[in-house]
Structures are given as C-alpha cells and as structure tokens.
Amino acid sequence: VEPYRIKVVEPLPVTSWNQRLAALDRVGYNLMGLASDEVTIDLLTDSGTGALSAQQLSHAITGDESYAGSRSYRHFVDVAVDLTSYPFVFPVPQGRVAERVLFSALVSPGRITLSNAHFETTRANVWLNGGQAIDLPCPELADLASSFPFKGDIDTARLKEILFGSEGDRVAAVIMTITNNTGGGQPVAMSNLRTTAELCNERGVPLILDAARFAENAWLVGQNDAQHWGRTPREIAQEAFTLADGCVLSAKKDGLAHIGGLLGLRDPALARRCELILIATTGYSNYGGLAGRDLDMVARGLVEVTDPRYLRSRAEDAAYLADLVRAAGVRMVEPPGLHALYLDAGALLPHIPPSQFPGQALACELYLEAGIRSTEVGSFNLGDEGDHGHVVSHELLRLAIPRRVYTRAHLAYVGRAIARIADRADQVTGLRIVEQPPMLRGFTARLQRVAD
Ligand SMILES: Cc1ncc(COP(=O)(O)O)c(C=O)c1O
C-alpha cells in the first residue's frame, strides 16, 4: 500500500466529451494550451506536480527568510552535502538554472558535451554557450521491447573512441542523466557510471550527473543488479554521486518539491566561478533565487525520497499501469521505469505517418476520451530541432506520474481509457501543423485534424 495517508484533497475536474472537443479546437490540438480545470488526470509531467508531506508543508511557517546565513540554507546544505559528498552546493530555482550557470563556466564555442541523452534544456544550454551536445545512448535503447534493465546506459565504447580520438580535446564535460528521461525513463547501471567515471578521470574531463531522478535510478539499480541487493536506495544514490565531479539537479522531481534545484561541485575553482554567475544572475548563493521555506522543503524532500517504502510504492504504481497498458495490447518502452510510461504510438497507430504526428494524435484522443493530459515525445515535440542533432526514432506518448498524487483507482481509470482507444485505434486521425514558431514548437504550435 501507499506508505502515507491523505490529509488534504482537491476536487478532480470533470468535463463532458463536447466540452473536451471544444477545448481541443480552442487550443489547436496542443494540450499545453489547456487550463488545468479542463483536465481530469494530469499526466503531462512529473515535475513540480507532486504532493508535499506534512513535514515539508510545516516549513511554510518555520522557513527562515533571512537573506544570508539562514537556518533553512544550513538545512539545505547539510542534507545536500550528506547526499552528494560535494563540498560546494548551491541552491537554484530549478534544474535548468543549474545547467545555465554550470555551462556558462564550462562550455565555450567549439566545445562538445557527451551524454547518455541530454534533456532538452541541457541541450539548449550547451547550445546557448556555443557548444554542441552529442548523445551516445547504448544500443539496447533502440529496441523498445528489449527487457535489458539498464537501457539508460551510455555507449562506453563510443565514449572512449571520442574521448581519446581526434575530437577528445573538444570535450567540455560528460553528462550522465539518471534516470534517462529522454530515453524512456530508463536507469543507468552503476557499472556503466563507474566505467564512464574512469574514462573521464583518465582523460581529465569532468563527469556531471543530471540527477533529477537520482532516487528512482538508485531504486532500479537496487532491484536489478545483484551486486547491489540489500543496500538502501540512499547508499546506492550516495555511491553514484561519489563517482562524479558534480551534479545539476532539478528538485521538482526527486526533491519532492514544487520548485527548487541544486548545483553541486567538487572543484573549488569551478565552484567559485559558478557562484559568481549565480550571484550576478539568480541570487546570493545562500538562497539561490528561492525562499527560505523552499530550501527547507527541498532539503526534507531529498531525505523522504530515498525511503524504500515510498520508492517501492512508486515502482508498483508504474508497474500496475504498465500491466493495464499491456493487457490493452498497447506496446511501450520496456521495462517501464518509475516516473513515466512511454507508449509506442507509432505501433498503435500505424496508419498515421510520422509527418502526421501519431504521438500527438494519441495524446489528443486520450484527452478527448477521458480528460487525461499527457505529452508527445516524437516528431511533433522533437522533430523541429534540426541541426541541434536530435534524431526522432520512435513516436512515443509519455504518461508521467506525479509523485504521491494519484491513487491506483485513478490509474485504473487511465488504463480503461487506453483500452477503449486501442479498440478503435484505426479510427484515430492524424494531425497537421497550421501555425508554429521557429523552434520549441511543442509549447505553442497549433494543429488541425488532417480529415478537417
Ligand atoms: C532529466 C532532466 N534534466 C533537467 C530538467 C530540467 O529541470 P527543471 O524543469 O527543474 O528546470 C528536467 C525537467 O524535466 C529533466 O527531466
């Protein structure tokens, strides 16, 4: 059972089919335009959408709002240093600010970063500093059905080739995203992380963790790698941090917070440079653009998240929904991770070509069917990145599961909606774009059904 009971509740919006159809027309078949009151179950993202614990919420009162040297800052630093072992830890408003600050110091024109898979903002921040972000996913990731448990791994053979080849001097950093969000929420094995760390050490290149989902990665390592059986998720997470030279961390995921993030570093010179950029752009390093209460809530969240009972329950939620999806005959990225399921919309809707966005068509159909909001990860959202180097190999629909928010009854409702759509999949029609910005079109582009 869930290892908590519910103390504060909020009504679920309920809408009719006709209201949802009108809403889709109004927002141009782009679910980002919906008001949250039009959404019954919101699986758009697991970022900043979780429920706070009573202890986190108590910090709304006890948070220390002093500009410098606050109790809340001390709390944040104590927890962050204990978790990561990095001597320099800075609070930031969210993950992408940590990326922006770090890459302003690390990346310059002509340099490259290598990763198992850069998250979109990570890629954009490398690019904004004149660098190029190159993904080196392991070969197993290409096979959606493969049950290989660590499909988030980096391809260490290619990593070695680049680090020690003619391009080696251009590498500014290696970034390991745990878990690999863009790559189907798949975990990274500790052995993969260790080999990567050894290669980086040998070449003198910093290894940075994008640790937004460090606890979920630790859980999956503990479950799927016999060498780590019997260890706590916290011990496994601590070991992962120890292998790297620093981290960028969005606390909106495994910080169990609504806002916040963390930049952690070992190198004093790099930390000093980052601190300067942080102070000039985001806030003094004792609060990093956050309120004192947020620092406390993040600190508390970073402790609660490695509770094995919480992580087990979260894994079981994902597994429960995955079973319903499989029973409906819908394929997805296997094995399911913890934060999201990635349905194979391309396989479910083979009559819709990538140019008509099967993932987005499925997202709209799921909203129309049951008021469920999800997000496309395919040609619509990723296909406009052109020379930024992203190749869209699968048309996926991501169902992200907010933390501690929905019960299994809610997930059963989602499963039933997916089964109904699967039964009439051949009637789902594709979409075409009628209006789009020059990049990041997923946020604002408008679409129409091709049949209209
Ligand atoms: C893997 C990963 N890195 C970085 C980020 C960016 O974090 P934030 O949204 O807090 O800026 C995200 C957000 O979804 C993410 O999933």
What confidence score (pLDDT) does residue 387 get? 45
Q: pLDDT (tens digit, 9 = 90+) per residue, 411-427? A: 999 999 999 999 999 99
Query: Which of 101, 181, 208 should be mutated for ligand 1, with most atoms under 8 A from CB?
Result: 181
Q: Is 19 helix (H, G, I), strand (E, B) or coil?
A: helix
pLDDT > 50? residue 76: yes
Q: pLDDT (tens digit, 9 = 90+) per residue, 336-373? A: 999 999 999 999 999 999 999 999 999 999 999 999 99
Q: pLDDT (tens digit, 9 = 90+) per residue, 188-206? A: 999 999 999 999 999 999 9
Distance CA(84)–CA(238), nearest Å, equals 6
Nearest CA to ligand 1 atom 5: 95
Distance CA(141)–CA(246), nearest Å, equals 26
Average pLDDT over residues 432-436: 95
With a pLDDT cut of 70, the percent of the chain lying above it is: 98
What H or E segment, with its residue span, contains residue 81? helix 71-84
Q: Indicate which atom in ligand 1 lies nearest the CA of residue 96.
A: 11
Distance CA(303)–CA(21), nearest Å, equals 43
Tokens of 317: 């939620």
pLDDT > 60? residue 386: no
Report whether 122 contacts 133 (CB < 8 A). yes
Report whether 86 contacts 241 (CB < 8 A). yes
Distance 352 CA to ligand 1 centre (A): 30
Q: pLDDT (tens digit, 9 = 90+) per residue, 24-42? A: 999 999 999 999 999 999 9
What confidence score (pLDDT) does residue 25 get? 97
Query: Which of 44, 45, 119 should be mutated for ligand 1, with most atoms under 8 A from CB?
Result: 119
What confidence score (pLDDT) does residue 389 get? 44
Q: What amino acid occupies position 382?
A: L
Distance CA(159)–CA(202), nearest Å, equals 12
Report whether 107 contacts 168 (CB < 8 A). no
- Nearest-10 crossing angle of helices 268-281, 95-106: 120
Query: Which of 44, 45, 46, 47 should be mutated for ligand 1, with most atoms under 8 A from CB?
Result: 47
With a pLDDT cut of 90, the percent of the chain lying above it is: 93
pLDDT > 90? residue 451: no
Q: pLDDT (tens digit, 9 = 90+) per residue, 227-258? A: 999 999 999 999 999 999 999 999 999 999 99
What confidence score (pLDDT) does residue 148 get? 95
Q: 112 vs 120, which has greater pLDDT?
A: 112
Distance CA(76)–CA(86), nearest Å, equals 13
pLDDT > 60? residue 88: yes
Q: pLDDT (tens digit, 9 = 90+) per residue, 43-71? A: 999 999 999 999 999 999 999 999 999 99
What H or E segment, with its residue span, contains residue 62? helix 54-62
Q: What integer best gives the mean pLDDT of the chain? A: 96
Nearest CA to ligand 1 atom 9: 95
Nearest CA to ligand 1 atom 8: 95
pLDDT > 50? residue 305: yes
What global pTM score does this model have? 0.96
Q: pLDDT (tens digit, 9 = 90+) per residue, 149-168? A: 999 999 999 999 999 999 99
Q: pLDDT (tens digit, 9 = 90+) per residue, 127-146? A: 999 999 999 999 999 999 99
pLDDT > 90? residue 404: yes
Phi, psi for 11 (deg, rounded to 5): -70, 145
Nearest CA to ligand 1 atom 16: 181
Ramachandran area for residue 300 (φ above 0: left; ψ -120 to 50: alpha; else beta): alpha
Report residue 174's pLDDT band, with 50, 70 and 90 as the boundaries: very high
Report whether 166 contacts 99 (CB < 8 A). no
What confidence score (pLDDT) does residue 86 get? 98
Residue the block writes with tokens 């053979």: 157
